[in-house]
Amino acid sequence: MTLSNIRIVLVRPTHPGNIGATARAMKNMSLQSLCLVAPEDFPSADATDRAAGADDVLKSAMVCGSLDDALKDCHLVIGTSARLRRIEWPALDPESCARRLVAGAQRGPVALLFGQERTGLLNAELDRCHFVVTVPADRDFSSLNLACAVQILAYEIYRAAQPGVSVGSTEVRENRPASDEDMQRLYQHLEEVLQQIGFLDPANPRLLMRRLMRLFNRAAPDHNELNILRGILTAVQQRNDKLDKKTQK
Ligand code: SAH
């Protein structure tokens, strides 16, 4: 069942009631896979009360210390936000978000990220996302309760997963998609090389890495393509080391 590949990730949730209400909203829509990143208060009686019978979703929830652990095997990550940011991430409406998740789930784990009640998702957390989805709401009061946002998006996923609904491209690609863990390694390597060759000034990085991450996330490279990029970076480093040694002589 592909819905089990759709992971609902709550990032640093503060209210256990919202965790319970999320579990209930998920189970109502046939979703089972919940992941909590650094929850402030969990397990908790409040969460179990609000789960109202969806205790199995709470019990099987994966509790992670970091977003890295929550996303490592995911090849598609979609973030949620009540508002648009300065650098925009590619935006989706709830229906297209659900279709992408259902299509992606046929190839492996995918994640839908929800932010903390007060702060929402931080930019560094949105950097992990291929897309950002916003539930359209009143212009001056657009921030929904966390579990209500989960409910609306879970409902769209449920609808998109119904037989006969076309979820668009479930393209068959030869190679396995790169996971979030693979992509994070690429970004670290790229940043290191850009500093070594003097393209990125660590004292004044501006938005360079964010822009590059958006570019590569948009391209959604597969595992082989990623290995080529990593190979190029290693070759640049080797050449750079040689030049350094020559100039030191
Ligand atoms: N002050 C925060 C709001 C956080 S609400 C902000 O402006 O971002 C907590 C979480 O609920 C958000 O991080 C997001 O995951 C979800 N959420 C709330 N309103 C939403 C909306 N209109 N569309 C999509 N997600 C929403």
pLDDT of res. 85: 62
The architecture of the domain spanning 180-248 is: Orthogonal Bundle (1.10)
Give me the residues paired with residue 131 across strands. Answer: 78
Any atom of ligand 1 within 6 Å of the Cβ of 18: no
pLDDT along the chain (249 residues), means of 10: 91 98 98 98 96 96 97 97 77 96 95 97 94 94 97 98 82 82 97 96 92 93 95 97 85
Determine the Cα–Cα distance for residues 232 and 147; give it in Å rounded to an integer.
44
Any atom of ligand 1 within 6 Å of the Cβ of 146: yes
Determine the Cα–Cα distance for residues 184 and 73; give it in Å rounded to an integer.
11
Any atom of ligand 1 within 6 Å of the Cβ of 120: yes
pLDDT of res. 145: 98
Task: Choose which residue among 11, 80, 84, 119 to substitute to test ligand 1 binding: the one with the highest number of ligand atoms within 8 A of its C-beta.
Answer: 80
Any atom of ligand 1 within 6 Å of the Cβ of 134: yes
Q: What is the DSSP string of 75-137?
A: SEEEEE-SS--SSPPPEE-HHHHHHHHHHHHTTS-EEEEE-BTTTBS-HHHHTT-SEEE----
In this structure, the residue with its CA closest to atom 2 of ligand 1 is: 120
What is the domain partition of the chain in residue ranges? 3-160, 180-248
Encoded tokens for 8 = 């609902």
> Which CATH number describes the domain made up of 3-160?
3.40.1280.10
Any atom of ligand 1 within 6 Å of the Cβ of 149: yes
